[in-house]
A and B are shown apart, each in its own frame.
Chain A
Amino acid sequence: MKRFLGKLHLITWTRDDSSPAGPSLPEQLAAACREGDSKAQKRLFDLLSPRMMAVCLRYMGNREDAEDVLQEGFITLFTKIDSYQGAGSFEGWARRIFVNTALMHLRRTDALGLSDDIDQAGNLFTQEPTPVQKMGYSDLMRMISSLPADARTVFNMYVVEGYSHKEIAKELGCTEATSRSKLQRARLRLQEMMKGQA
């Protein structure tokens, strides 16, 4: 009965007029995942995991923690997939889950502490400085990963995810001023590292 209703939902959902171009492959797989289809889950994992791994790595700073967050995030995604009702893109909804999972992980390990010591970020680069335009993804990821957890988190949320300082302050339980300060220090540090590499 559940499979029948799931398939019926998939059929009716794919005719959703709110998505004129039709549902994307992840969205169609999500409908099948609601039924508990393990093949659909694996396919969805294969589709989303590379991009979500990049998200997790940006927040956690090291691969081991990033994989833990990625695993936990996918468990949450599959468990709460019923709550996705088609409003907004599925990938955006999924990205939100992984960002929240990463934040919860950082809170759990108290990594979002009160540290303002941005100078603790190690200087990994002793080469000639290169302009940002020539910098690749992996170099930039290394630099971001080297930032302290609190500054890195604010930087990721503001610059990459598009949160406002107000939203960041709500999420992290700090003031907007603190959010702005951490962002500014993260930028300064990144620019120093880039100049150092250049």
Chain B
Amino acid sequence: MKENELDIQVRNLMQGAQESVSPSVWEGVQAGLARKRRAAAFWRWTGAVAAAAAMLAGVVLLRPVAQQEHSNPIILAESFAEGIPQAPLVQEVAFPAEESVVVTSIPARRTVRLAQAVPAPAVQEVEEMPQRPVAEEAVEANVPDAVSEPAPAKNADMPAVQEADDQALLNRLAYEQEKTVAKRPWSVAVSGNLQDKRRGAVSSRASRQYAAPALSAPEGIYNESPELSFSLPFSAGIGINWQFLPRWAVGTGVRYTNLSRMFVGDYKGDGFVYSQTDIDNHQHWLGIPLNLYYQFVNRGRWRVHTFASGTMEFLVDNDYLVHGPQKDIHYHRKGSRPQFSAGLGLGVEFKLTPWLGLYLDPAFRYYFRPDLQPRSLRTIQPLRFDIEAGLRFNLGK
């Protein structure tokens, strides 16, 4: 018999052939899929719980300090304005007794302005003032039951100077605030980023309708199929910010980003070709961001700001791990042109201490001309949602 006759006969018999399957196979498939679903859900929940625990620990560890320790006259003044019974103002303010008396009589409208003018750091500055034993002794002797009660008797003879004292206090507090801002204009931040893993449409590709690379072709990756999976994009970085105005700051730094994916493709190496094999691609990027911040809420320990950012990134290493039938091979591609991106976001910062803050900056970021870069989530979906979280250290003189 001729060879091709044998081949034809065998092919005719084998193609379309069917065999019986025991029911245990389907049970095994269901069990396997359930295992994979559980594993995926486990890691999703673990990540979510870890992130929530980290954020919660940051807040709980630095729980709000009691008012007696803060000695923040603004908060107490607000409470007074609302008629909430409080400990006597005079007892808790480090200002001289006369000034504390003035605070108790400030009308509600002025109270609000005071709250804006005296953030916690300024209050900290106030705490550094020398103690006034005289005022404290007066407090011990005259403790009103309610905040609304008049000030100590000796100050009741000075109603005419209250407004002037008001203004003096306002000026002083505003000055203290400005001093605080100017004293710590620089800050250094360390942070990590996560981006969404949501994909857009993936281009289709015929699994076998392609030409395998010729043996004479240069070394490289060919015939990439649509990705089997993407890893969660991750960044980490360090930056420095400069607050040049009370509400404005600029910042820059260095940021590392890792993009990973797995796909099926051909690899042509030294004298051999691996066809349709699993390939892991890890891209390592270094970027230089330039950010502009505008702070529009500054109350107590909380800051809210909006920001715009531009980043230029360089691909420092593009590594392909080719899983060959007998061994794994590392293949590196040269870097490409820089990747530019721009972002807009709204962030919040919680001041753990006057010099240390915990911040969260979610933003939308758009990557320009990602088609000029090696394939990644960015090339499939240039508009991405990014969450940056970190610690900001305010540097003083």
Contact = CB atoms under 8 A, between A and B. Distances in A.
A, B co-complexed: yes
A145 B272 CA distance: 30
A172 B19 contact: no
Interface in A1-57: 38, 41-42, 45, 49-51, 53-54, 57
Interface in A147-198: 159-160, 166-167, 170-173, 187, 190-191, 194
Interface residues of B, number: 49
B64 interface: no
B325 A107 contact: yes
B21 interface: yes
B172 interface: no
A111 B1 CA distance: 30
A132 interface: yes
B204 A191 contact: no
A70 interface: yes
Contacts of A137: 13-14, 17
Interface residues of A, number: 53
B221 to A, nearest CB: 14
Interface in B194-224: 202-209, 212
B130 interface: no
B18 A51 contact: yes
Among A71, A144, A172, max chain B CB count under 10 A is at A71
Nearest to A71: B28
A92 B207 contact: yes
A159 B5 CA distance: 11
B226 interface: yes
Contact of A190 (B6, B17, B325): B6
A84 to B, nearest CB: 9
B33 A79 contact: yes
B54 interface: no
B26 interface: yes
A135 B10 CA distance: 10
Given A70-B21, A133-B9, A167 B14 contact: no
Contacts of A171: 275-276, 325
B98 to A, nearest CB: 63
Interface string B1-30: 101011101110111111111101110111
B138 interface: no
A74 B206 contact: no
A141 B29 CA distance: 25
B207 A93 contact: yes
Nearest to A53: B19
A191 B21 contact: no
A194 B10 CA distance: 12
Contacts of B16: 51
A78 B13 contact: no
B251 interface: no
Contacts of B325: 103, 107, 112, 171-173
Among A80, A86, A171, max chain B CB count under 10 A is at A171
B375 to A, nearest CB: 14
B211 to A, nearest CB: 11
B15 A53 contact: no
Interface string B269-286: 000111110000000000
Nearest to B264: A83
Given A53-B19, A173-B325, 11 more contacts: A57-B19, A72-B32, A75-B33, A78-B29, A85-B205, A85-B226, A87-B207, A140-B14, A166-B212, A170-B266, A194-B1
9 contacts: A41-B33, A70-B21, A71-B32, A74-B25, A87-B207, A87-B209, A88-B209, A160-B11, A170-B212
Leading 7 A-B pairs by shortest Cβ distance: A85-B204, A50-B18, A170-B275, A173-B325, A53-B19, A75-B32, A54-B17
